[in-house]
Structures are given as structure tokens and as C-alpha cells.
């Protein structure tokens, strides 16, 4: 390889290393995004150690390589001249055997030290014990259930500074999904009939975006998720009020369910591009007919409402009839 070309390759590699390094600091670029939950932070710590070791090895190999190529280049000598024949160097051989062993041992020790805190946060890391939330991955939405029975779709509300323990699963008739909010931690599979546990504790207010990270069918890309972190007291008030509203049938659950579970594929005017438009569909006015198709699926349509409580089915039925069917004419065209 020509020295110039090699130097270019080396500077490219160094630039890439700098990019990863800077990204790791800022939580952007090519490095892991998450530093907003203690477990995400621990995953980033491991990334940074491995990055530092790799960058060191990169320099250790490429810098001497370039120097040797420059120093011992051909300089017009005949190709037939043999160089000195060197055999064995005990110290050097010991060094390049021992160094990788030590480095690997350091990495493995560090990973096993950090691992328990990545899988499961100690509720004592936050305050007020853990909040347990059930997460179900379904074609093609996320359904969350709080301890008091409140249901939410796609966007999970969570209190700041309290550990949230998430139990992730999928209905037996569904497929594999993966729950992933990058800034709050890694990907955790939603597997039919199995429970995967993880937890997070967000220190900052705001909305953390995420997505399904396992290809699960035609609307995989529409299976977005979000965690909205609220102040503790505001969250507690919301959860209590939402429970009352869902019981009384005047919450936004119907709309959430429609937008999360129905509109992604259908749309009122067919803008979901996959299922037929819902506008003008007589089944929407037939509570039992709607429940049957939603609970059991039909043809290409998955059983999106399998396992729903009546409360949720009622909320959907009410929303579709009150807010959409009455607005026939497409004033709602923009929202699904």
C-alpha cells in the first residue's frame, strides 16, 4: 500500500474514533443515546470502556504500522535482496499474549460488575418504591396497564425520580416485539407467553421517544412508543383521575385505542393504506359485531382486541360513534 493511501486510511480511522468518543460524551452520533436512567448510564459506561480499549489498540497497531512502512520502504533496492531473518523474541511474544488477556479480563470484570444494575434497578435508587407497569406488545401498538387498572396506548406516563418496573409480554396469538426507549435503556423483547422484566428511573422531565425494535409485520414502523416523564405529584393526580375517568367512560382511552390500534392500518378515509377505510363501515355502529372482529381478527387483520376488558371495547365503540361517525364528511381527516 502506498504511504499516502495508508496515512489517509489511518486518519479516517482516527476521525471515526474521535466521532465515537465525542458522541459518547454528548450522547449523540454513533454512541448509545441513553444517560437518562441509571441502567442506561451503566450500559454507556461499558460502551465507553470498550471504546477506550479499542481506540488504544487501534493506535498501538496503526501508528507503528505507518512508521515502519515509511522507515523501511523499498527505496529502489532490488526485490531479490533478502532482509535479515529474525526468529523469536520471548519478551515481545509474552507481552502480546499477556496484554490481550489482561484487557479482556478487565472488560469482562467490568461488564459483570455493571450487569445486575442494567437488568434490574434497585427500587431504592428512586424514592417511594417501584411502580409496576405491564407492557404488552401487539400488532401494532403498545398497551400499558397500571397497578390501578388504568390503560394507556403507545405513550406511557411515568413519575420522575421513581423506579418503574416494566413487565413486558405479548398475547399468545401475537408475534415478537421489542420495547425500546433508547435514552432509558436497552431493548427488551415482548415475546408471546413470556414475561421479560426491566426497569428505568428517569431523572428529567420530558418525552422520551422509542419504537418497536423487532420486525413484527407490515406496520412495524408505525409501532412507536414514548415515555412521558411527569413530576411525581402531577403523575399521582393524573393516575387517580384517569382511573375514575376510565371507569366512568369519559376518558381519552377510546381515542387512544382508535389511533393506536385501528387508525394505523385503516384510517377513516383509508389513509392507513393497509386496511379498508373505516368511514361508512356499518360494523362500527354494531357494538357486538365490532367486538367480534376486533377480538378475533379477520383475514389479514390480527386479533387486535384479544383480551381487552369491556371497558376498553366500550371506550373504542363510543369514540368511533360519537367523534368520528357523527363527523362523516371527513373533518377528522387529519387525525387518522
Q: By CB under 6 A, name the binding residues for ligand CUA.
A: 137, 177, 212, 214-216, 220, 223
Q: Provide CB contacts within 8 A for 12, sequence distance 6+.
A: none
Residue 293 CB contacts under 8 Å (≥ 6 apart), including other chains: 283, 301
**Residue 215 beta carbon to ligand CUA: minimum distance, rounded to whole angstroms:** 6
Cα atoms in the Cβ-side hemisphere of radius 13 Å centred on 34 = 27
Query: Is the CB of 162 or the CB of 264 nearer to ligand CUA?
Result: 264
Nearer CB in complex with ligand CUA: 222/243: 222
At closest approach, how far in Å is the CB of 154 from ligand CUA?
11
Q: How far is the CB of 167 from ligand CUA (least distance, A)?
A: 17
Q: How far is residue 20 from each of residues 25, 59, 113, 184, measured CA to CA in Å?
A: 9, 15, 24, 20
- Between 22 and 300, name the residue whose CB sits nearer to ligand CUA: 300
Neighbour order of strands in the sheet with 177-180: 155-159, 224-230, 206-212, 177-180, 188-190
**Residue 220 or 318: which CB sits closer to ligand CUA?**
220
Shortest distance, CB of residue 142 to ligand CUA, whole angstroms?
Answer: 8
Please report how close the Cβ of residue 216 comes to ligand CUA at its closest, in angstroms: 3
| CB closer to ligand CUA out of 135 and 290 | 135
Shortest CB 139 distance to ligand CUA, Å? 7
Question: By C-beta, is 31 or 219 nearer to ligand CUA?
Answer: 219
- Name the grid cell of 307: 383480551
Residue placing its CB nearer to ligand CUA in the complex, 209 or 232: 209
Count the residues in the chain. Answer: 336
Find cell 409496576 and name the residue: 132
Cα within 13 Å of Cα(195), Cβ side: 7
Exposure b/e, 285-321, CB count within 10 A at least 16 = b: eeeeebbebbeebeeebbbbbeebeeebbbbbbbbbe
Whether residue 192 contacts residue 42, with contact meaning beta carbons closer than 8 Å, is answered with: no
Q: What is the b/e burial string over 8-34, where b = at least 16 CB atoms within 10 angstroms of the residue's CB?
A: eebeeeeeebeebbebbeebeeebbbb
Minimum distance, C-beta of residue 201 to ligand CUA, in the bound complex (Å): 25
Amino acid at each position: 500500500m502506498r504511504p499516502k493511501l495508508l496515512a489517509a486510511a489511518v486518519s479516517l480511522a482516527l476521525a471515526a474514533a474521535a466521532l465515537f468518543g465525542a458522541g459518547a460524551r454528548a450522547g449523540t452520533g454513533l454512541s448509545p443515546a441513553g444517560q437518562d436512567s441509571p441502567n442506561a448510564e451503566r450500559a454507556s459506561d461499558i460502551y465507553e470502556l470498550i471504546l477506550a480499549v479499542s481506540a488504544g489498540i487501534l493506535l498501538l497497531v496503526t501508528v507503528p504500522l505507518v512508521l515502519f512502512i515509511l522507515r523501511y520502504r523499498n527505496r529502489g533496492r532490488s526485490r531479490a535482496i533478502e532482509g535479515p531473518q529474525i526468529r523469536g523474541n520471548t519478551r515481545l511474544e509474552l507481552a502480546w499474549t499477556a496484554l490481550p488477556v489482561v484487557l479482556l479480563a478487565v472488560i469482562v470484570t467490568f461488564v459483570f460488575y455493571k450487569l445486575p444494575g442494567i437488568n434490574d434497578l434497585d427500587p431504592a435508587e428512586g424514592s417511594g418504591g417501584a411502580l409496576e407497569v405491564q407492557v404488552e406488545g401487539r400488532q401494532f401498538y403498545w398497551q400499558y396497564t397500571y397497578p390501578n387498572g388504568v390503560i394507556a396506548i403507545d405513550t406511557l406516563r411515568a413519575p420522575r425520580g421513581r423506579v418503574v418496573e416494566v413487565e413486558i409480554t405479548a398475547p399468545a396469538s401475537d408475534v415478537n416485539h421489542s420495547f425500546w426507549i433508547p435514552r432509558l435503556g436497552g431493548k427488551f423483547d415482548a415475546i408471546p407467553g413470556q414475561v421479560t422484566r426491566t426497569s428505568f428511573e428517569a431523572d428529567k422531565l420530558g418525552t422520551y421517544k422509542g419504537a418497536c425494535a423487532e420486525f413484527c409485520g407490515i406496520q412495524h414502523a408505525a409501532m412507536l412508543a414514548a415515555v412521558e416523564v411527569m413530576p411525581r405529584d402531577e403523575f399521582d393526580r393524573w393516575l387517580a383521575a384517569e382511573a375514575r375517568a376510565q371507569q366512568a367512560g369519559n376518558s381519552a382511552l377510546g381515542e387512544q385505542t382508535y389511533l393506536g390500534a385501528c387508525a394505523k392500518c385503516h384510517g377513516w378515509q383509508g389513509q392507513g393504506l393497509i386496511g379498508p377505510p373505516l368511514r361508512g363501515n356499518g360494523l362500527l355502529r354494531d357494538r357486538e359485531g365490532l367486538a367480534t372482529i376486533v377480538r378475533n381478527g379477520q383475514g389479514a387483520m390480527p386479533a387486535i382486541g384479544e383480551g381487552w376488558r369491556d371497558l376498553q371495547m366500550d371506550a373504542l365503540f363510543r369514540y368511533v360513534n360519537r367523534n368520528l361517525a357523527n363527523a362523516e364528511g371527513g373533518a377528522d381527516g387529519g387525525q387518522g
